[in-house]
């Protein structure tokens, strides 16, 4: 196989009669906890091996239900643990996946495109797609990262593309005034009825509006200061005390990347969330405190340093803190589900679900509880 020649076997499609049948029932993945002890053991194992040629000491965290060809902790989410020793750096790399990166130990510098991002423990930054990047450990301790990507989904689609040591020189932007007018349709995009249906020519189809996608940095020191202001919301508050690490490029889909949102929550002691559910998967990393999650009637206890697939799609769930404040990073594929118009969300189980992004969402009682 090459870029220009693949020998395919002769293939013929087939018919499957589904007349009168309903769609098959969903089979949600079970919640899964990777404990702090397991994570620490894997960090030490990675630190003990020689630095690979590409500089990436990494381990995938894989759910038992995941397909071997698309390994992930959730169906559309891959999570890796990454370790660098002091003075080490990774080679430059790029791929057509987006990433959320969360430093859980140590410090260092990330170089993404033309930006240099110094980071410390509990800082978050994103990596846009198809931008060269590498990371360096400039500290004296191990540098440990959790990286969340949509690689598994791209592998399922057979369209994950990557380059090792890509060129670090940016392409020269095309001069719009120099574009050949013969490449532009004289007809433009136009309506063909009175209900909003339109026709768009090929020239517009292959040249959609571009939105600059940048690497952004959410320093923990700044985020924590804002989270502490949410502590004063009373016990009667029915929402969750969190902030979305918002990337404006995601627009109405409310993301940190076009595929994921990352939120950081502060959970006061002895707070019990109201049960709810949503189509988006949810993965939590707890980095302070302890508590429990109830998922589809099953109770799971967790503590600081544990990573958990805490809410498989559409499973009823809620979380509760024990005797100390809890901090947690939550990754969900909500932007993807909003963009594909499938994000059913039921904030109150006594009320019908809403299709977020297409229907009005939910209100909280923050004004009365504050």
Per-residue pLDDT band at 368 (split at 50, 70, 90): low
The pLDDT of residue 170 is 60
The pLDDT of residue 369 is 60
The pLDDT of residue 37 is 98
CATH number (3.40.190.10, 1.20.1530.20, 2.40.110.10, 2.60.120.10) of 219-369 reads 2.60.120.10
Instruction: State pLDDT tens for residues 340-360.
Output: 999 999 998 999 999 999 888
The span from the CA of 126 to the CA of 37, in Å, is 27
Average pLDDT for residues 156-169, to the nearest whole number?
A: 92
Of the chain, the percentage scoring pLDDT greater than 70 comes to 92
Per-residue pLDDT band at 225 (split at 50, 70, 90): very high
Average pLDDT for residues 199-216, to the nearest whole number?
A: 90
Rounded to the nearest integer, the mean pLDDT of the chain is 92
Query: Same CATH fold, 219-369 and 32-164?
Result: yes
The pLDDT of residue 58 is 98
Average pLDDT for residues 243-252, to the nearest whole number?
A: 96
Instruction: State pLDDT tens for residues 269-312.
Output: 999 999 999 999 999 999 999 999 999 999 999 999 999 999 99
Average pLDDT for residues 220-227, to the nearest whole number?
A: 96
The span from the CA of 79 to the CA of 73, in Å, is 6
The span from the CA of 216 to the CA of 35, in Å, is 29
Average pLDDT for residues 259-274, to the nearest whole number?
A: 94
Q: What topology does CATH give the domain 32-164? A: Jelly Rolls (2.60.120)
Per-residue pLDDT band at 370 (split at 50, 70, 90): low
Phi then psi for 45, rounded to 5 degrees?
A: -65, -45
Phi then psi for 253, rounded to 5 degrees?
A: -85, 0
The pLDDT of residue 297 is 96
The pLDDT of residue 167 is 86
Per-residue pLDDT band at 168 (split at 50, 70, 90): confident
Per-residue pLDDT band at 319 (split at 50, 70, 90): very high
- The CA angle 262-268-273, to the nearest 5 degrees, is 70
Average pLDDT for residues 14-34, to the nearest whole number?
A: 95
Domain borders along the chain are 32-164, 219-369
The pLDDT of residue 169 is 63
The pLDDT of residue 233 is 76
The pLDDT of residue 222 is 97
The pLDDT of residue 232 is 75
The pLDDT of residue 288 is 98
The pLDDT of residue 323 is 96
The pLDDT of residue 209 is 87
């Amino acid at each position: 196989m090459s870029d220009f020649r693949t020998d395919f076997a002769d293939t013929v499609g087939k018919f499957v009669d589904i007349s009168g049948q309903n769609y098959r029932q969903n089979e949600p993945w079970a919640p899964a906890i990777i404990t702090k002890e397991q994570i620490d053991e894997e960090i030490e194992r990675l630190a003990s091996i020689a630095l690979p040629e590409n500089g990436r000491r990494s381990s995938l965290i894989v759910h038992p239900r995941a397909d071997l060809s698309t390994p992930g902790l959730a169906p559309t989410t891959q999570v890796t643990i990454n370790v660098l020793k002091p003075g080490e750096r990774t080679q430059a790399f790029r791929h057509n996946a987006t990433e959320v990166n969360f430093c859980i130990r140590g410090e260092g510098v990330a170089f993404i495109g033309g930006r240099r991002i110094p980071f410390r423990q509990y800082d978050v930054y994103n990596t846009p797609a198809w931008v060269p990047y590498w990371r360096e450990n400039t500290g004296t301790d191990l540098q440990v990262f959790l990286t969340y990507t949509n690689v598994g989904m791209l592998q399922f689609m057979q369209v994950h593309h990557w380059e090792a040591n890509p060129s670090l020189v940016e392409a020269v932007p095309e001069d719009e005034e120099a574009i050949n007018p013969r490449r532009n349709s004289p007809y433009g995009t136009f309506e063909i009825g009175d209900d909003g249906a339109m026709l768009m020519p090929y020239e517009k189809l292959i040249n959609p509006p571009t939105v600059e996608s940048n690497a952004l940095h959410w320093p923990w020191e700044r985020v924590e200061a804002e989270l502490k202001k949410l502590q004063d919301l009373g016990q009667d508050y029915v929402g969750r005390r969190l902030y979305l690490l918002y990337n404006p490029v995601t627009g109405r889909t409310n993301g940190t990347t076009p595929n994921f949102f990352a939120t950081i929550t502060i959970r006061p002691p002895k707070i019990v969330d109201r049960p709810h559910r949503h189509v988006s998967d949810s993965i939590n990393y707890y980095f302070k405190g302890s508590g429990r999650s109830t998922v589809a009637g099953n109770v799971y206890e967790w503590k600081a340093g544990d990573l958990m697939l805490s809410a498989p799609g559409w499973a009823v769930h809620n979380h509760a803190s024990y005797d100390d404040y809890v901090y947690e990073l939550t990754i969900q594929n909500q932007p993807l589900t909003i963009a594909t118009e499938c994000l059913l969300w039921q904030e109150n189980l006594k009320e019908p679900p809403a299709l977020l992004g297409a229907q009005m969402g939910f209100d909280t009682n923050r004004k009365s509880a504050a």
